[in-house]
Each structure stands twice: as C-alpha cells, then as structure tokens.
Amino acid sequence: MEAVESAVSREELQLAARNHGMPLEALRYPITPAGLHYLLIHYDIPVVDSVTWRLEVGGNVRTPLALSLDDVRARPRVSLAVTLECAGNGRALLEPRPISQPWLVEAVGNAEWTGTPLRGVLEGAGVGDRSVEVLFTGLDRGVEGDVEQDFERSLPLDEAMREEVLLAYEMNGQPLPPQHGFPLRLIVPGWYGMTHVKWLKRITVLTQPFDGYQQARSYRLRRDEEEPGEPVTRMPPRSLMVPPGIPDFLTRKRFLESGPCVLSGRAWSGGGEVVRVEVSPDGGRTWSDAGLEQPLSPFGWRGWNFEWDAQPGEHELSSRATDATGASQPLEPAWNLGGYANNAAQRISVVVR
C-alpha cells in the first residue's frame, strides 16, 4: 500500500491519537457499542456538572427557557437508531491531503439515541416571526483558524423543526458518555457529524443566517480560500465492508481461505433510503448486486451481504451504495480544500490462499 503523499505532521498525529474511527470489524454490530463509535472532538471534552447545567433557549422566541436535565428528561421520549459520519471521512485518501484530522474510511457509527424532539422545545418557547435559522452552542471552547470560539453551528428553521431531530441524553440506553456530549447533544438524522452539536448549552432562534466560523469558513465545499463554496450538509451514500479473513497487524492486508464465503457490510445515505449495494471482487471492473437487509430505522444504516467464491490470488474488493435519489458512490474521490464528503468506494486488498 502506498505512503500518503506528504509527510504527516505532528499536528495530524495528535488529532489521530485522540480521535478515533470505528474499527471496521465493528460493522458486524447493528448498533455500534459506545466505545467503538467514531469520535471527533474539536477542542477538549468539557467538564459539566449536570446538576447546575441548564439548556438556555432564547433569541427570537416569545418565552426564553432555561431547562434542567430533569426538565428535558420529563418531556416526550423518543429513541432512534441514527448513522453518524464525520464530514472529513476519507480526507487522508485525497491528494494533496488537506491538513486536519486524517481519516481514512472509518469515521462512522450507528447508535441508538434517546431524547426529546427539538420541535416541541422550540414550540414551547414560541418561535417568533421572521426566524430563519436555529443556532446550537456547545460548552466546548477553543481556537480555530485564529478565532477563539465556542463550537456552534446553525440549522435552517425547517430542518430544525423536522420531527426526528432530537435533543439526546442517552446513547445505547445509557446516559451520554462524556465524549459523546454529556449531558445533552443534538441529533439531526441524515446530516454529517459536525451538525450534531455536543455538550449543548444554548439554542438561539435567529432572524439572520449564522455566519460564524464553523458555518461560513469551515465545512464548505470549495477549491480555494477565495471561493465561498457550498455548505456541507447531508451525508452522500456510502457503504463499507467488514474486512474478510484475518489481518496483518501493520499493513491490515487481509488473508482468507479459498472457497465460498459471505462478504457483508453496512450502507447509509443522508439523502434517502439505500436502495442498492453493489460489490466488485476485481478492483471495480465488474459489479454485482448484494442482498439488502431491512434498515434499522429510516436513519440507520442498512446491512448487506454478498456470496463470493474466493479463488486463490490477490483481489481488491469494493462496494458501492445507491440511494433513492439515484445518488451513488464514485470510484475516485472529488478533491476539495477541507477534505469533506469523500464517499469514494472503499478498496480492500485480500490475499486468498
């Protein structure tokens, strides 16, 4: 396997050592155990006293609120399996490599999130006329692009009012772990990970679009700094495969016994239901349809499997997903300055013996 093009810096290694992807064999679990779910933390995990913590709801509302965790937990309760993926997933496979968290393909997870619909909270506060966006502010504070900031991101009002958008206080039936946003985080099914603001402290209804760092400068699809670019929003389709056989420790190359076997994996899209997964056992020359399992929820990934008669030799395996809008995975990545949304088909090298 090739070296990445340019020297990885201490900075990138520091990020790679503290953040982590989901080991790909964990695609086996329909619901990702908490410690295996991918994790990207911009600044530090904040220390939160859940007794004194309050969620402020303000801005252009009729009745500003300050909700305790008990207040939030007393509201209607919804649980939903949701696939979350980092917008930078695939970044380190781009050339030249944008310098940030150097993800390969594994920045994903599918947890069951439990919380209360955001919509009810916003309706309780009373959204004022001329509102256009809702801003979500976390307790995590740091410096990025020379700007000192709380991590904060906005959503268009109509997205914020979708019934499946949650203020979540549990992950897989347990209180949120510190690293996943304790005591409360936003869950916006279908959108990339940066949207799901962790350690929420404030929700602000806006009459003008938010132009803060994480909205206007970061998370834009653009070729150079001068271009404003399109915002990064929903996840395009992606599929991943449980690496078959056993790995080499260092290269992660796979070794497999010859004969019939079942390849399997998961596929998801923020654009609509995954309607097709294809598998190529020969480096993308030929493709065949995989069988599809029922999705775990409208917003959770969909299992797939494919019978393969593994013949001795070296093979490159790939899979690609297509969603209900007809969107599919490219075989080669499309480069952009921030290294976002690279959903090119995964390639796994396997030696069959």
CB of 181 to a copy of itself, least distance (A): 12
Q: Residue 141 interacts with a copy of itself (CB under 8 A)? A: yes
Q: Which of 31, 65, 78, 104 binds a copy of itself (CB under 8 A)?
A: 104
Stretches 117-125, 141-149, 283-291, 292-300: which one binds a copy of itself (CB under 8 A)? Answer: 141-149
The kind and range of the H/E element at 13 are: helix 10-18
The CA distance from 284 to 74, in Å, is: 52
Please state, in angstroms and as integers, the Cα–Cα distance from residue 22 to each residue in 70, 107, 146, 220, 343, following that order.
Answer: 32, 6, 30, 25, 16
Q: Residues near 93 by Cβ (< 8 Å), separated by ≥ 6?
A: 104, 105, 333, 342, 344
What are the two backbone dihedrals, phi and then psi, of residue 73, each rounded to the nearest 5 degrees?
-70, -20
CB of 43 to a copy of itself, least distance (A): 5
Stretches 117-125, 231-239, 243-251, 263-271: which one binds a copy of itself (CB under 8 A)? Answer: 243-251
Residue 261 token pair: 């076997």
157, 127 in Cβ contact below 8 A?
yes
Question: CB-wise, 114 or 328, nearer to a copy of itself?
Answer: 114
- Please give the radius of gyration of the chain, using alpha carbons only, rounded to the nearest integer: 21
Q: Residue 225 interacts with a copy of itself (CB under 8 A)? A: no
234 by Cβ neighbours in 10 Å (0-12 / 13-18 / 19+) ranks as middle
Stretches 28-36, 74-82, 269-277, 337-345: which one binds a copy of itself (CB under 8 A)? Answer: 28-36
CB of 75 to a copy of itself, least distance (A): 26
Q: Which of 96, 128, 142, 312 binds a copy of itself (CB under 8 A)?
A: 142
What are the two backbone dihedrals, phi and then psi, of residue 57, each rounded to the nearest 5 degrees?
-120, 115
Residue 281 token pair: 């056992």
Question: CB-wise, 220 or 276, nearer to a copy of itself?
Answer: 220
Q: Which of 66, 74, 143, 331 binds a copy of itself (CB under 8 A)?
A: 143
Q: Which of 229, 243, 295, 333 binds a copy of itself (CB under 8 A)?
A: 243
Stretches 21-29, 68-76, 229-237, 324-332: which one binds a copy of itself (CB under 8 A)? Answer: 21-29
Site for a copy of itself in 251-290 (CB under 8 A): 251-252, 255
Question: CB-wise, 45 or 277, nearer to a copy of itself?
Answer: 45
Q: Residue 240 interacts with a copy of itself (CB under 8 A)? A: no
The kind and range of the H/E element at 149 are: strand 147-156
The vertex-39 CA angle with 190 and 78, nearest 5°, equals 45
Q: Residue 332 interacts with a copy of itself (CB under 8 A)? A: no
Please state, in angstroms and as integers, the Cα–Cα distance from residue 253 to each residue in 21, 24, 244, 266, 347, following that order.
Answer: 18, 13, 10, 20, 11
Name the site residues for a copy of itself (rule: CB under 8 A): 1-4, 6-21, 23-26, 28-29, 33-37, 39, 41-45, 47, 92, 99-100, 102-104, 106-107, 141-144, 148, 177-180, 243, 246-252, 255
